[in-house]
Amino acid sequence: MEDWLLQPPRGMNDWTPDKYYSLITVASRLSKVAESFGYSAIETPALEHFEVLKAKAGEDVINEIYYLKDKAGRELGLRFDMTVPVARVLSYRRDFPRPIRLYYVSKVWRYDEPQFGRFREFYQFGVEHVGSPTVQSDAEVLALAVKSLELVNLPQLTVKVSDRRIMDQLLSKININTAREPVLRVLDKRGKVTDDELIKLLIKEGIDKARAESLVAIASTRVPIVDSVRELRELGVGDNLINYVESLANALTDYGVANRVYLDLSIVRGLDYYTGFVFELYTDKIKLAVGGGGRYDELLKVYSGEDVPAVGFAIGIERVMLALGEGQGSIPPVDYYIYPMEGSCYGMAVRIAEKLREGGLRVIVDVGKPSLRSALEYAARIKARKFIIIGRREIERSVVRVRDLETWSEEDIPLSKILK
């Protein structure tokens, strides 16, 4: 078989133990914070009906969906995020008490151009808070995102917050009343392309140069959220939205995370289902956002016909790992490696292993016929902590010989002590 066929498909990764335990470590810490906030875990099928996925994905994301037909001709697609599948589930599971707090650690797929920090198959940690329209629910979700990344020690974490309703007001103010989604998608590229390029892209969307320049100037607004009220007043934002931002800042202060949060009007998010509050999470270690989210009050209505407010976020676990660097997790060590000197000792070796495993220890019983020296070398390579030797003489004396592979000291321990 050709060498290239032995590699994973483009944009996807093999998670061998040396890397997978790092992912597990990060994911478990993120999940710990969600659990502490009272969120419950959820999982959905990797495949969804294509109609479900494209209903509110937006043109750019629709083009990234992995599309296929099954043997019965049904149109399906791999999920591109978890918000849409969760919205689908909740459209028929109306028995959950609201607000519903859910979290997940799941694989998602996007047929995007692979590059640094951008994969076609990747893991997301995220939460969905469904059934509450309040600023307090927005603050809870954002605080949870920040605290989860603080727990994994993500360096130089900052949050950029905006609101689609603010941008709608400001677009109306400069008489941009049609084709707003394409305009917002262009503004979402700020930071990825130059301001001059943004102006050219806006002109392509039918915006004249003067208004394009005004839009880019508005998108350049960035100020600590606790100091944002004056800036919003100067831009001519209405009192209701100013009061909302002020309340959000106060709630984030109560959570102790407001010092990380900035009002940044360039943040609009690329998915069409967002309706208000939006945010992105950044670290200076990589240029890409490590996560983002916001409010999507109209998504569940697409599936159930019911108006249900909702807010959530997703964090790319691989991007968090890139920012943290290597060595965030390691393969758990083997506690005991048991070596029966001959076949007649194998049964006793298994009995000892089973007793040790009952105590939560990781235990390997040698299953080959290597020399004692070879077995010791192998145990050292897999970083076993202790090496147990069982031979006929040890069984006759009702002991086992235990070698500490860190200090290379040995002692005989009574079998009765091990088996208890």
Residue 250 has pLDDT above 90, yes or no: yes
Average pLDDT of the residues in 226-230:
93
Quickly tell me which residue has 């209903």 as its tokens: 55
What confidence score (pLDDT) does residue 76 get? 97
The domain that holds 110 is classified in CATH as 3.30.930.10
Q: Which two tokens stand for residue 302?
A: 């697409």
| Sheet of strand 399-404: strand arrangement | 363-365, 336-340, 386-390, 399-404, 410-414
DSSP for residue 110: -
Tell whether 14 and 136 lie within a shared domain.
yes
- Name the band, by pLDDT with cuts 50, 70 and 90, for residue 292: very high
Percent of the chain clearing pLDDT 90 (strictly above): 72
Report yes or no on 262 lying in a domain. yes
Tell whether 149 and 14 lie within a shared domain.
yes
Report yes or no on 115 lying in a domain. yes
Q: Which two tokens stand for residue 210?
A: 């003067």
What confidence score (pLDDT) does residue 58 get? 66
- In order, the DSSP letters of 299-323 are HHHHHHS----EEEEEEEHHHHHHH
- Spatial distance between the Cα atoms of 417 and 243, rounded to a whole number of angstroms: 68
Tell whether 17 and 151 lie within a shared domain.
yes
Tell whether 91 and 172 lie within a shared domain.
no
Range with the lowest mean pLDDT among 20-29, 197-206, 350-359? 197-206
Give tens-digit pLDDT for 116-129.
989 999 999 999 99
Tell whether 2 and 41 lie within a shared domain.
yes
Residue 57 has pLDDT above 60, yes or no: yes
Tell whether 59 and 185 lie within a shared domain.
no
Give tens-digit pLDDT for 187-220.
777 777 888 888 888 888 878 888 888 888 888 8
Kindly report the average pLDDT of the chain as a whole number.
Answer: 91
Tell whether 245 and 288 lie within a shared domain.
no
Tell whether 162 and 146 lie within a shared domain.
no
Tell whether 344 and 383 lie within a shared domain.
yes
Give tens-digit pLDDT for 41-50.
999 999 999 9
Report yes or no on 2 lying in a domain. yes
Residue 341 has pLDDT above 80, yes or no: yes
Residue 165 has pLDDT above 60, yes or no: yes
What confidence score (pLDDT) does residue 376 get? 95
Q: Give the global pTM.
A: 0.89
Query: Strand pairing partners for 1?
Result: none
Report yes or no on 276 lying in a domain. no
Tell whether 202 and 257 lie within a shared domain.
yes
Show the domain range for 120: 1-155+284-328
Report yes or no on 279 lying in a domain. no
- Name the band, by pLDDT with cuts 50, 70 and 90, for residue 329: low
Tell whether 129 and 24 lie within a shared domain.
yes
The domain that holds 377 is classified in CATH as 3.40.50.800
Q: Could you check whether the bond before residue 133 is cis, i.e. omega within 30 degrees of 0? A: no
Tell whether 395 and 305 lie within a shared domain.
no
**Phi and psi dihedrals of 105, rounded to 5?**
-130, 105
| End-to-end CA separation in angstroms for the chain | 52
Q: Domain tally for the chain? A: 3
Report yes or no on 354 lying in a domain. yes
What confidence score (pLDDT) does residue 179 get? 67
Report yes or no on 180 lying in a domain. yes
